Chain A
Amino acid sequence: MEQIENDVHQALMQILSEMGVEPDSIADSAMLGADLELDSTDAVGIGLELKRRFNVTVKVQVKGSETVGDLAKLVLAEIDQASA
């Protein structure tokens, strides 16, 4: 389980970094919308990359207060459900 948690965190770090988000600003507590200034198109892009990498469908929210950590938990829950 720890391995997959690491993989998800690393994947999010890489996805956000490739989208041009400064790596220093990517923390678990960073809000996707308010802090990282991601928009709805970015959310679609993140969703597609997560589908590619983990074959899960996650609705990425940038309007509310969802953080990088929240998103990681969502992805892990989906992976968990898929493998159950």
Chain B
Amino acid sequence: MTSAGSRRALITGIGIINANGQDTASSWQALLDGKSAIGPIRRFDATGLQVSLAAEIAEFHPPKQVSRRLFAKSDRFAHFALAATSHALADADLDLTAEDPFRVGISFGNNSGGWDICERGFIEYYEQGPPMINPWQATAWFPTAPQGFVSIQYNVRGWSKSFATDRASGGSAAYFGLRALRWGHNDVMLVGGAEAPVTRLGVGAHVSTGELSRSTEPERAYLPYSPAATGLVLGEGSAVLVIEEAEHAAARGARAYGELLAVEQRTGPPEDGSLLEDALRTALDQAGKDPGEVGLIFGEGCGSATGDLIEARVLDRVLPGVPVTVPKAAVGHMYGASTGTDIAFALLSMRDGVLPPTAGAQVDGPNRYAPVTVATVERAVNTAVVVSRSREGTNVVTVIGKHDNRR
């Protein structure tokens, strides 16, 4: 019997879909090129919403491996999750039909649910009358739908959960995803999340949080840690990581991008920076890493003056001078999909030995509260930290280490 503490979690597959690309390679290259996908909302008429920008996936192309039947009865956010899972499993070269389905699980984050199908359903209902209620609306809308549809598609039957903790939804998914392996529930976890909030109602609901930038200038709308910040910009997409218990990965000769060393979560008053600091110090301690070993931080960087300042002060105290990068400035904040996306980019930074730029950082880089990356820098990264924080005080810190058998 393997003790919980010795069960190591290797990341053997990456599947990411966002407004900068519908596969890992294109999305990563766009990030390195400093390309931002933020632009005027085109999927619907945003007149009167106070917010006019988003990072949209213009034309979604689902992979042919994903069941058309499941697509027809599910929402856009589940479509992204199904596609990202398909990419991640292919990348990991993992055939789930050969696995014990009760030892495979899912840990996904989602904040908004599926409003695309709901809005269409509401219109049908109000225009055509009471019997015309889309029969799939209830199961398609629910925030656990990506977990459900991925479970059906891949016959996943092990311990699985979905988490809705605002911007930290994906962080909470990583926290429990790692524990599902450590606790011995499963040997394989699909960890990540999905988000598709760019609908008229979805954006309208987000406007009421006060967190969205009302800027009409795409290049200045999302400026993490900047005194000129005006909020965040919504993105959409999914990230799914295949995380395997190390012996399981070794037994099938799997290559690993890296190791999920620690994930810590602390929840309390949002203005209390000590919770983030405790999560960060504890995660580093559990990962067996000194602060000096951390080469890159993927920050929350939500673009709010107080939130960013609290985060930047903690980072400066625990990890002074370590470069901070925020892919969200390029692909928008994807809430449930953000942490998975950041972990994926962290693994690619380690693989390629580069620090990706923060889109738009040229605008006022030197003046920011945190040392944000401005351009692509070639530099070896062996340990990376991903920070995820919610509006109401959930703080999640993930520590990832390099693993050398990938290429």
Interface residues of chain A, those whose CB is within 8 Å of chain B, are: 18-22, 37, 41-42, 44-45, 48, 51-52
Contact = CB atoms under 8 A, between A and B. Distances in A.
A20 B69 contact: yes
Contacts of A18: 72
B131 A19 contact: no
A21 B132 CA distance: 22
Contact of B73 (A22, A41, A51): A41
Contacts of B70: 20
A30 to B, nearest CB: 15
Contact of A19 (B72, B128, B132, B134): B72
Nearest to B132: A48
B69 A21 contact: yes
A19 B135 contact: no
Q: Shortest 6 CB-CB distances between A and B: which pairs?
A: A20-B68, A20-B69, A20-B72, A44-B135, A41-B135, A19-B72
B60 interface: no
B71 interface: yes
A48 B131 contact: yes
B67 interface: yes
Contacts of A22: 68
A18 B72 CA distance: 7
Contact residues on B (Cβ < 8 Å of other chain), bracket: 10 to 19
Contacts of B136: 41, 45
A18 B73 CA distance: 10
Contacts of B69: 19-21, 37
B1 to A, nearest CB: 41
B71 A20 contact: yes
Given A18-B72, A37-B69, A52-B132, 15 more contacts: A19-B69, A20-B67, A20-B69, A20-B70, A21-B69, A22-B68, A41-B136, A41-B139, A42-B73, A45-B73, A45-B135, A48-B132, A48-B135, A51-B131, A52-B128
A56 B139 CA distance: 26
Nearest to A22: B68
Nearest to A49: B132
Contacts of B135: 41-42, 44-45, 48
A20 B70 CA distance: 8
Nearest to A44: B135
B60 to A, nearest CB: 16
Contacts of A48: 131-132, 134-135
Nearest to A40: B135
A63 to B, nearest CB: 16
A51 B130 CA distance: 12
A16 to B, nearest CB: 10
